Amino acid sequence: MAKPNNMATVATSDLPKALTGIQGLDEITFGGLPKGRPTLICGGPGCGKTLLAMEFLCRGALQYNEPGVFMAFEEKEQDLVENFSSLGFDLKSLVKHKKLAIDYVYIERSEIEETGEYDLEGLFVRLAAAIDSIGAKRVVLDTIEALFSGFSNTSILRAELRRLFRWLKDKGVTAIITGEKGEKLLTKHGLEEYVADCVISLDNRVNEQIATRRLKIIKYRGSRHGTNEYPFLISDNGISVFPMTSLLLASAVSSERISSGIKSLDEMLGNKGYFKGSAILVSGSAGSGKTSFGAQFVDYVCRNGQRALCFAFEESEGQLSRNMKSIGINLKRWIDKGLLKIAANRATLCGLEMHLVMAHTAVKEFKPDVVVIDPITTLIGSGLADDAKAMIARLIDFLKNDGITILATDLNLMADKGDAAEIGISSLCDTWMKLSMETQGYKRMRRITIIKSRGMKHGHETKDLIITDNGLEIKDIPGLREDVR
């Protein structure tokens, strides 16, 4: 389960809730689904309804000792077992240990002839038997709308559905009803009419060829809830919802300092280096030494026994460690020691939300002290600029919240663009440095300038950045240019 953040602890609610155990969902619902009541989950095909419902049952059974009944109208028991084993849920053993009961409901329109008045007592009997057999506290009906394909008398069906939901409430089970998205209504047959307590909608949208799954709480009677659309991911551990847009600017502030790994740069930064847990942005044109700059920092961090996580969007792990070796930085030994992890993938691999999710997961697993993102601006290529900015803000906020120091590089194609960094991420950062290339005679020289550094006195000179066989060095520019600025 996700550790409760400041959001969840604020929750004061009289409405009893049942924790889902699904990462992030309990946070945006402020404690889970309404206990003892039905919740409707709607969405188009393949958006993860069945998965969410099943995970709710499995986690309920495993983490909260609440056995569950899964009434499947669409998939056979065997299919469910197979589908969910790939997500790490062993349904067979849950069934064996009486934590889960699955009842597959077979409906075949062509076999059914309606010959007069009827009710759906058979469904009730089966559900009651399944609930009683394991003492279930949770129930999933996936998806009850299949009844509409089997029976033609909708007035009977509607009356029976109404009775069913009342019955579920009387039984006191926490239920999830799934429903296929309809054209005008939330679900094809307007189930929202009967399940009025809590409605969650899922969807899977494609924007510029990149698909993102999103979850939204449409209503939650008697409780407050996050109103945004939250991205979610289906990973090896089931669903993860990421409520990161709700983070406040409330991260704990540290006045501890952390060295940049370059002695002469520390001198420029008030003689002490960066603030711990701050965000550092290094902008520069191609070949100005941004990656080396980052590597030097990582090397220093690992040398001090701290952990660093590096998101590389341009180079693979092998390439990066080979290249850095040429300037005397041996990254491989930190990787071998387990102090450094390089997560390399292309920015276009997936959508921004997915990157965020992956970063989130990696950070949670690795628990780094320092995160390096090289370069942060490639992410813009995998989404719209506004989205990218929001996503980067969320990423930085999330890392800062955990007290992690962030060093991000920013590929600035037009080095003279000045203070207007492409998407204004500089305002999110506490320390901003600019690397540039200047032509001096026949030679191009690397230069470094500190543009800003919040909360400390810092040097304003532009200095030489020299890449040596032993890492980076910063020196005063020799000769006349020394006092230009």
Partner 1 sequence: MAKSESGIKKQLETGLKKQKQKKYVLHLYVAGLSPRSQKAIENIKKVCDEYLKGRYELAIQDIYQNPILAKNGQILGAPTLIKEFPLPLRRFVGDMSNIERLLVGLNLRSKE
User: How many amino acids of this chain bind partner 1 (CB under 8 A)?
Assistant: 25
CB nearer to partner 1: pick between 45 and 116: 116
Binding mask of the shown chain, residues 11 to 40, with x at each position contacting partner 1 by CB under 8 A? ------------------------------
Binding mask of the shown chain, residues 163 to 192, with x at each position contacting partner 1 by CB under 8 A? ------------------------------
Q: Whole-number minimum distance, CB 131 to partner 1, in Å?
A: 11
Does the protein bind partner 1 through residue 340 (CB under 8 A)? Answer: no
Does the protein bind partner 1 through residue 65 (CB under 8 A)? Answer: no
358, 394 in Cβ contact below 8 A?
A: no
CB nearer to partner 1: pick between 91 and 411: 91
CB nearer to partner 1: pick between 149 and 319: 149
Stretch that binds partner 1, among 143-151, 300-308, 311-319, 325-333 (CB under 8 A): 143-151
396, 359 in Cβ contact below 8 A?
A: no
Q: Whole-number minimum distance, CB 121 to partner 1, in Å?
A: 4
For strands 210-220 and 229-235, give the pairing.
antiparallel
- The SS3 of residue 354 is helix
The residues near 236 (Cβ < 8 Å, ≥ 6 apart) are: 87, 88
CB nearer to partner 1: pick between 9 and 115: 115
Interface with partner 1 (CB under 8 A), residue from 14, 117, 183, 236? 117
CB nearer to partner 1: pick between 54 and 69: 69
Q: Torsion-angle region of residue 237: left (phi > 0), alpha (psi -120 to 50) or beta?
A: alpha
Interface with partner 1 (CB under 8 A), residue from 64, 151, 167, 366? 151
R_g (Cα) of the chain, nearest Å: 28
Q: Whole-number minimum distance, CB 361 to partner 1, in Å?
A: 40
Segment (H or E) for 436: strand 431-440
Interface with partner 1 (CB under 8 A), residue from 33, 91, 139, 147? 147
CB nearer to partner 1: pick between 143 and 223: 143
DSSP assignment, residue 105? P
Interface with partner 1 (CB under 8 A), residue from 9, 12, 115, 468? 115
- Buried residues in 78-93 as b, exposed as e (16+ CB within 10 A): eebbeebeebebebee
Q: Whole-number minimum distance, CB 105 to partner 1, in Å?
A: 7
Stretch that binds partner 1, among 51-59, 127-135, 173-181, 308-316 (CB under 8 A): 127-135
CA distances from 366 to 103, 134, 153, 294, 341 (A): 40, 39, 57, 19, 8
Q: Whole-number minimum distance, CB 53 to partner 1, in Å?
A: 20
CB nearer to partner 1: pick between 151 and 366: 151
CB nearer to partner 1: pick between 82 and 114: 114
CB nearer to partner 1: pick between 107 and 210: 107
Residue with tokens 């230009």: 484
CA gap 121, 411 in Å, rounded: 66
Q: Whole-number minimum distance, CB 341 to partner 1, in Å?
A: 50
CB nearer to partner 1: pick between 76 and 166: 76
Q: Looking at residues 75 to 114 of the shown chain, list those that interact with partner 1 (rule: CB under 8 A).
A: 103, 105-107, 111-114
Burial class (CB in 10 A: 0-12, 13-18, 19+), 104: middle
Does the protein bind partner 1 through residue 211 (CB under 8 A)? Answer: no
Hey, how many other C-beta atoms are within 10 angstroms of the C-beta on 352?
24
Give me 331's structure tokens: 């990254």
- The SS3 of residue 373 is strand
Q: Whole-number minimum distance, CB 122 to partner 1, in Å?
A: 4
Stretch that binds partner 1, among 42-50, 126-134, 199-207, 322-330 (CB under 8 A): 126-134
CB nearer to partner 1: pick between 156 and 467: 156
Q: Whole-number minimum distance, CB 153 to partner 1, in Å?
A: 9
Interface with partner 1 (CB under 8 A), residue from 33, 42, 53, 123? 123
- The SS3 of residue 350 is coil
Residue whose C-alpha is closest to residue 44's, from 140, 182, 170: 182
Residue with tokens 């590089």: 409
Does the protein bind partner 1 through residue 122 (CB under 8 A)? Answer: yes
Interface with partner 1 (CB under 8 A), residue from 13, 78, 97, 121? 121
Residue whose C-alpha is closest to residue 381's, from 414, 417, 423, 319: 423
Burial class (CB in 10 A: 0-12, 13-18, 19+), 12: exposed
CA gap 43, 178 in Å, rounded: 8
CB nearer to partner 1: pick between 124 and 366: 124
CA gap 55, 63 in Å, rounded: 11
Does the protein bind partner 1 through residue 128 (CB under 8 A)? Answer: yes
- The SS3 of residue 336 is helix
Residue whose C-alpha is closest to residue 274's, from 244, 292, 254: 254
Interface with partner 1 (CB under 8 A), residue from 45, 116, 441, 479? 116
Residue whose C-alpha is closest to residue 300's, from 269, 344, 331: 331
What residues line the site for partner 1 (CB under 8 A)? Answer: 103, 105-107, 111-123, 125-126, 128-130, 147, 150-151
